[in-house]
Amino acid sequence: MPVALATVAVVLNVVQGVLAVPLLNRALDRYLKLGATPRGLLVVSGVLTLAAEIALFALIAVQGTADKERLSSVALAIGASLTPFFMAHSLVVSKRSFLAALAGAATGLLLLLALLTGSWLGSLGLAVLLVFAGVWSLGTTRPTGWILAAVRKLDAARSIETRLAVAEERLRFGRDLHDVMGRNLAVIALKSELAVQLARRERPEAAEQMVEVQRIAQESQREVREVVRGYRRADLQAELAGARSILRAAGVDCRIEGEEETQLPPEVESALGWVVREGTTNVLRHAAEVRRCAVRTRIDAHRSVLVMIMENDGVTHPPPAASGSLPGSGLKGLRERLHPLGGTLTSGPVLNGSYRLTVELPMGAATG
């Protein structure tokens, strides 16, 4: 009889060990909220555990408690038989529910064995063994599940960070491409129209205008390559000189006033250069009858800010994008460039049919 009971217990524990692998996998999925509770496997595991425990308790009853060494071996087998089910169960329920169920099972076991055997001390020892197996299973399995959850969240965070970096690079590329090509295409269109008119009048200046169109197109190709490489920075003085030249070629009187001797950090110069470029593009594209344009840069000592104002006349009916109700991609891109520097941008029509673009940068950003 002892050999038969031990054989039954061993076979049941082997089956339990084979079942424990898919059971723990699905229990971990449930803990990580990746799957449903494996109720069927838990029921099968519970039945196998209960059958193995009955066989081991029957073995103790048959052999008696006289041989302490043999009794200790069977007690260890009882604890080991409980752990697969306890480990899976601790993952699919809350810690409070698991400990409450464990306390109830230990109390029930203590009372049942005491009534059957009359030995309160031995029953208490087995109940303590049951509690120890449950607490050990909880202490080894739940932290493992927590670590796996933390690793999974870390992987998800890295994936989100990668996607955000890609989205930011796309925004940067789109913003730079718009700022680079917007003004250049407007100038090409303007000079091409001028060349057509001169050619119809058989004026030799038409060839000069087309040469200038060719130069600007080649310059645009170079700037697009630099945008793709991500190395391009707008130079403020070059943009101011280019704006004056382009606007005068379009018949606009362009005046530039400001703090010529102020030393600005490269990132501030680049941001203001993009402002001048985008403002020039808007003058050429949106203003119907522009005659005057002024770019003024000054330092407001009272508020400790650097102010750049770009103002032009001739805007009798500003488009929605210029009025501020539906900001265009150009102004939105400028705000994105100024935001890391703490700068602000406001734009809109003012008195007498003029349009004003105002940029303010804190002196800390402007002085580096």
Q: Name the more confident of 345 and 5.
A: 345
Task: Categorize the per-residue pLDDT at 359 as very low, low, confident or very high, splitting at 50, 70 and 90.
Answer: very high
Predicted TM-score (pTM) of this structure: 0.46
What are the pLDDT digits (tens) for 278-326?
Answer: 888 888 776 567 888 999 998 888 888 999 999 988 776 554 444 333 3
Q: State the amino acid at position 278 in one-letter form.
A: E
The values of phi and psi at residue 175, to 5°, are -65, -45
Average pLDDT over residues 320-333: 55
Q: What is the largest CA-CA distance in the chain?
A: 125
Q: How far is Cα 300 from Cα 306, in angstroms, rounded to an integer?
A: 6
Average pLDDT of the chain is: 79
The values of phi and psi at residue 2, to 5°, are -60, -40
Q: Name the more confident of 266 and 288.
A: 266
Average pLDDT over residues 147-165: 80
Q: Name the more confident of 292 and 10.
A: 292
Q: Which of 25-34, 170-179, 317-326, 345-354 has the lowest mean pLDDT?
A: 317-326
The per-residue pLDDT for 357 is 92
CB–CB of 212/244 below 8 Å?
Answer: no
- Residue 315: which residues within 8 A CB-CB, separation 6 or more? 286, 287, 288, 290, 322, 349, 353, 354, 355
Nearest to 173 by CA among 122, 221, 219, 224: 224
Task: Categorize the per-residue pLDDT at 333 as very low, low, confident or very high, splitting at 50, 70 and 90.
Answer: confident
The per-residue pLDDT for 323 is 38
The per-residue pLDDT for 316 is 62
What are the pLDDT digits (tens) for 184-220?
Answer: 788 888 888 888 888 888 888 888 888 888 888 888 8
Average pLDDT over residues 345-357: 86
Q: Name the more confident of 363 and 71.
A: 363
What are the pLDDT digits (tens) for 242-264?
Answer: 888 778 877 788 898 876 666 78
- Residue 278: which residues within 8 A CB-CB, separation 6 or more? 179, 182, 183, 330, 331, 333, 334
